[in-house]
Amino acid sequence: MDITTTTGATIPTPSLATSSRRRLVLLPYPLQGHINPMLQLASILHSKGFSITILHTRFNAPDPTNHPHFNFMPIPGVAEENLPVSGTDNLIRLMRYLNDEGLGPIRGCLEKLLSEDAGVASLITDAQWFAVQTIADGLELPRIVNWTTSVSAFLSFSAVPILRQMGYFRRLSDDMKSEALVTGLEPLKVRDVSRFLTSDPEGAGELMELLVQGMKPAQAIIWNTFKELEELQLPNLTRGFPNRHFMIGPFHKYFPALSSSLLTQDKTCMSWLDKQEPNSVLYVSFGSLAGVEESEFLEIAWGLANSKQSFLWVVRPRSVKGSEWLEALPNGFLERIVKERGYIVKWAPQLEVLAHRSIGGFWTHNGWNSTLESICEGVPMICSPSFADQLPIARNVSDVWKIGVELKNGFERAEIESAIKTLMVDKKGLEMRDRIMNLKEKVNLCLKKGGSSYSSLEDLASYILSS
């Protein structure tokens, strides 16, 4: 008998328990947007009858009390303390550090696990742990990659080396403004790909190549997406990467009550939302990493004020350069604008917020989790991507799926005001809502028995048991 979750997603029951190799070791990448999908995936696979060991750094460690059915194993001697993650340069440094210094300790942990338990079937790692493939090969342990963002973002990553050979990204400041389309990946623009790169474009490009190449020898790739959403991109994917692909997402729909939040969610905003009219509130959040300059923060505040719409705004502490939290807000903003029609929190229960009937739009940085979560709740978006996969995702949201408004000029109060009005009150916004509601329906179908993600999950479980 299948399990049906509270959202109506159906999970096929554990397949025939004939194999003795039923333990999976999962290695999440230690950032919020990567931890969430990996722990969601762990729960999905656990519900299929697999035992789960989570191998993790102490830095940004998941909270074991949220997942009592899993074993947790900290990796000793690497990323034991907090590391800087603000800005692309730091993120690139982190990836390099983990894939270098992390390898020895990870090998040690895996050897220990394999010596204690002969039933380990596979190692599932985040794609950003690309160097771990050599360890898996050495231990003859099948490695499966969990790709935590979209197919189109992956294809943009994979295009970086070719684009560099074609002469792009030598003059980053020009490329960051270029409206030219990327051949073969239209409607992606050069400006969307250029912000993958950093003050060290050469080094970042190299790393991007390693990440993509690291997918090729993996046995299989698990995608937190669903086939119907990215169908147009699939021929490009399978041509370049003939691995086994399992699209079983959206992961968070299987067990929506699960939390792997690293920060405390301020739930007081829910009772404020309860008092608002249906579809009247704009939810504003730029995820766990993106930061803004003080001048941009002011433009955001003025854009919100001038739009005259209600808003719930997540401002993470220290996400405004030079400020602890809200000090840079214009005089009177808290007393007049927020008191009248706004609410500000440091971190929100985002899934609950997006599902609330009062939410009419989501102003987002287009991290993949946030974008998928918005699609699943039928909430149209305003797109403010800042780096990496966020740009190609935003391009899809605004130009392919047409479920969001692009802010073309960064943070500029007049454009923000106009985008908010378009999304929340104009006919165009209503049309976007219709289109995203249609996608929401597709999500519900793909997770039901016979749906694409449902079937792919069944295939994945059988594949792991048979490999």
Q: Give contact residues for ligand UDP (rule: CB under 6 A).
A: 32-33, 36, 261, 265, 285, 287-289, 314, 347-348, 350-351, 367-370, 373
Shortest spacing between CB 278 and ligand UDP, in angstroms: 22
The alpha-helical segments, DSSP class H, found in 166-200 are 172-175, 190-194
Task: Provide the token pair at 136.
Answer: 């898996």
**Residue 57 or 285 having the CB closest to ligand UDP:** 285
What minimum distance in Å lies between the beta carbon of 370 and ligand UDP? 3
Looking at the Cβ atoms of 120 and 312, the one nearer to ligand UDP is: 312
How many angstroms separate the CA atoms of 215 and 268, rounded? 42
By CB neighbour count within 10 A (0-12 exposed, 13-18 middle, 19+ buried), where does 254 fall? buried
State in angstroms the smallest separation of the CB of 456 from ligand UDP: 21
Distance CA 352, CA 360 (A): 14
- β-pair type (220-223, 143-147): parallel
CA–CA distance, 183 with 190 (Å, rounded to integer): 10
Please list the residues that pair with 362 across neighbouring strands: 283, 381
Q: Which is nearer to ligand UDP, 136 or 382 (CB)?
A: 382
Smallest gap from Cβ 355 to ligand UDP, in A, equals 11
User: Cα–Cα distance between 395 and 269 in angstroms, integer?
Assistant: 30
CA 366 from chain centre, in angstroms, equals: 8
Minimum distance from residue 121 beta carbon to ligand UDP (Å): 27
The smaller minimum CB distance to ligand UDP, of residues 364 and 453, is found at: 364
Q: Measured at CB, which residue is nearest to ligand UDP?
A: 33
Q: Which residues pair with 221 in a beta bridge?
A: 145, 245
Work out how close the CB of 410 gets to ligand UDP at its nearest, in angstroms, rounded to a whole number: 17
245 torsion bin: left (phi>0), alpha (psi -120 to 50), beta (else): beta
C-beta of 408: minimal distance to ligand UDP in Å? 21
Q: Which is nearer to ligand UDP, 233 or 350 (CB)?
A: 350
E strand or H helix at 3: strand 3-4
Smallest separation, CB 347 to ligand UDP (Å): 4
Nearer to ligand UDP, 447 or 461 (CB): 447
Residue 249: which of 393, 91, 446, 48 has the closest Cα? 446
Task: Give the residue with the Cβ less far from ligand UDP, 168 or 251.
Answer: 251
Q: How far is the CB of 344 from ligand UDP (least distance, A)?
A: 11
- Produce one character per residue of 135-156: b if its CB has 16 or more CB atoms within 10 Å, e if not: bbeebebbbbbbbbbbbbbbbb
Residue 120 vs 348, nearer CB to ligand UDP: 348
Distance CA 76, CA 15 (A): 35
Q: Kindly tell me which of 50 and 223 has the beta carbon lying closer to ligand UDP.
A: 223
